[in-house]
Structure 1
Amino acid sequence: MGLMKFFSCSILIFFLACGGETNPRNLFDIQIEGNRKQLQQGESVGVSIQNKKGKTIDHVSYFIDGKELPFQSGKIVLDIEKLGNKLLEAKIAYEGNSIAIDKKIKVLAKMPPEIYTYEVIQEYPHDIEAFTQGLEFHNDTLYEGTGSGKGRKSFLRKIDYRTGKVLQQTDLEKEYFGEGISILNDKVYQLTWQKRMGFIYDLSSLKRSDSFQYGESKEGWGLCNDGKKLYKSDGTEKIWILNPETLVEEGYIQTVTNKSIFNKANELEYVDGKIYANVWQKESMMIIDAKSGAIEGVINFGGLKKRVKQHDKLDVLNGVAYHPERGTFFVTGKNWDKLFEVRIKKKEDGDL
């Protein structure tokens, strides 16, 4: 290499290392009206480009999740489907060049969650030794998956919910802590907690037919399905969307209110476009829009735990299953001796 060529390359490397004009952030920055970092879905908000080097800007377009946002009179409209932590991207054309810059923002729900309560329709017996992690109905049979809490082995079982009688059961190996379950295409899917592995069973025999590994999700918590896709919670703000054939995590929603991003979704149940999610360690349940992640409602199950036998192993509310023929929900908890059939209703003035 000639001395001049070496010298020229050295200058270029130094220039780039010091953040020359090839670094878009040294040229432009996105400015949001009021320096806000939390915005609302559907909101119209003023944005501009800080032009640090006085370049001639020809055109600017704004994007979130690859979708171009409406932009008029210096304002963008946050017309996006999925909420949560986002990157607002600006694609800038200037002086024959084109670059992209971005800024981290939070896009939250438009409205606060509505408050719901419950009415107990019927009580049924439930295995007091079951550390419940997942519930789901298929036809009129209740399926339950449990964890290894309080010294009990994890299992998957079929139950006659009216009597509490166990119709069929498959135990997990002792190294696995069982978590949420869901039934789709004549298969039962069951998560494990921290082993980053799930299992697949034949619906009729409960014989294990396969297993699968998690992708980017952190752990296995709750599981449900919409008839086509599986939804998986992992203890973070994300609910992952899985292809039931490949078990690949193809995307996710984030659970948000109008004020914050929330990360406590545990056991899940899908009903009519909504995900009903137990709130970890709380006597409550969220109603989440399955497309946007907006928490549209919160169900207060306060007082239900007092209706079960009080004992040393008694743990939190967990487990929700919808019975489509009856149009009611069934809920229980870890080491509860009762399964409750409930009707969920909006809280009215005077409700406790």
Structure 2
Amino acid sequence: MKPRPSLAVAMMLGWGLCLAEPPVVLGYRVVASYPHDPTAFTQGLVFSDGWLYESTGQYGRSALRRIDLDTGRIEQEFRLADDLFGEGLSVWQGRLVQLTWRERLGIVYDARTFERLETFSYQGEGWGLTQDGRHWIMSDGTDELRFLDPETRQVIRRLKVRLGARPVYRLNELEYIEARLWSNVWGSDHLVQIAPETGQVTATLDLSRLYPPDERSSPEAVLNGIAYDPSTGHLFVTGKYWPRLYEILIKE
């Protein structure tokens, strides 16, 4: 289990820095709320073809799931071996790609059948995963994102993420949305929007009011999970051990 960091969101996100072009502070509106398995240690979240796909973590409990959005019912599930800790998840050309935490193992599945097609290896830890149509993009809990060639699975680019001059650490679950990267900052209830060309944080979003910390069942029940519906432009967000998943509309 990842050790829980000491939280100082103001420092982690760089509030108070004197920036020439500070990031936009975004707002949001809740469009809908859906049931979510409160025992799921959410690590990766993807919305594709009307289905929600989720990767869950914890040794002995990690899984890949297809979920009915409206009911929260698990329609299909693949349980990982007990020595694997599930992490980030992305859709790629009819397949699902799932990372593991410290095992340096990526798993590729058929998105329809969940048949395990192949595996691949990478250096360091695996946290979040997304894709921009050309690359797989992964985080490892540091301030760096890695861009992988989907064919060779080799790193072809590294991107340092900065808020002004300050590194943004604990980048976790990722989503690529309209030429921008979005990331959870693990241990907080904030999302950051990142310019993939420069690594600069261009916007921030505070979602701590969705599920107030004093109502949560565990100190580990932090925000984690971003999925995008291109047909509506809405985001789906949830967290580890959260009983609800929220559909939100971003407002500037």
Answer yes or no: same fold by TM over 0.5. Answer: yes
Displacement after TM superposition at 1:259 (Å): 3.0
Matches within 5 A, 1:338-349: 338-346=244-252
The residue that corresponds to 1:39 in the other structure is none
CA distance in 2, matches of 1:193, 1:273: 27
Q: Which residue of 1 aligns with 2:11?
A: none
Query: 1:123-138 maps to which residues of 2 (within 5 A)?
Result: 123-138=33-48
- Say if 2:131 is the partner of 1:221: no
**1:223 partner amino acid:** L
Say whether 1:305 aligns with 2:211.
yes
How far did residue 306 of structure 1 move?
A: 2.3
Residues 161-187 of structure 1: CA deviation (Å, up to 9, x unaligned): 111111111010010110000001111
* Pair 1:160–1:184, CA change in 2 (3 A): same
Match of 1:188 in 2: 96
CA contact (8 A) 1:309 1:337 kept: no
Q: Secondary structure at the match of 1:303?
A: coil
Identity %: 38
Asked if the contact 1:320/1:332 (under 8 Å) is kept, the reply is yes
1:313 deviation in Å?
A: 7.3
Q: Contact 2:139/2:145 (CA < 8 Å) preserved in 1? A: yes
Displacement of 1:308: 10
Q: Residues 293-333 of structure 1, C-alpha deviation per residue, up to 9 Å, x if partnerless?
A: 11101101121122996324761010000011121000000
Alpha-carbon shift at residue 255 of structure 1 (Å): 0.4
Mapped to 2, the partners of 1:138 and 1:115 lie a distance apart of 28
Instruction: Answer 1 or 2: which has greater helix percent.
Output: 1
The answer (yes or no) to whether the contact 2:129–2:173 under 8 Å persists in 1 is yes
Query: What is the aligned partner in structure 2 of residue 322 from structure 1?
Result: 228
Rate the CA distance shift 1:184–1:111 in 2: closer, same or farther, 3 A.
Answer: same
Q: Distance in 2 between matches of 1:287 and 1:312?
A: 27
Other-structure match for 1:111: 21
Q: Pairwise mapping of residues 1-352 of structure 1 onto structure 2 (< 5 A)?
A: 111-148=21-58, 153-215=61-123, 218-306=124-212, 310-312=216-218, 315-346=221-252
Greater Rg over alpha carbons, structure? 1
CA contact (8 A) 2:217 2:241 kept: no
Letter of the 1:339 partner, please give it: L
Aligned partner of residue 291 in structure 1, secondary structure: coil
Counterpart of 2:232 in 1: which secondary structure?
Answer: coil
Deviation, 1:111, is 2.1
Q: Secondary structure at the match of 1:305?
A: coil
Q: Deviations over 1:101-160 (max 9, x none)?
A: xxxxxxxx86221111221111000011110000001111110001017xx610001111
The residue matched to 1:239 in structure 2 has which SS? strand
RMSD: 1.7
Contact 1:237 1:261 in 2 (8 A): yes
Tell me the equivalent position of 1:92.
Answer: none
Ranges in structure 2 where 5+ consecutive residues have no aligned partner: 1-18
Alpha-carbon distance between aligned partners in 1 of 2:102 and 2:139, rounded to the nearest angstrom:
13
TM-score scaled by length of structure 1: 0.64
Query: Alpha-carbon deviations, 1:218-267, whole Å to 9, x = none?
Result: 21010001112110001111100011121111111110111312122110
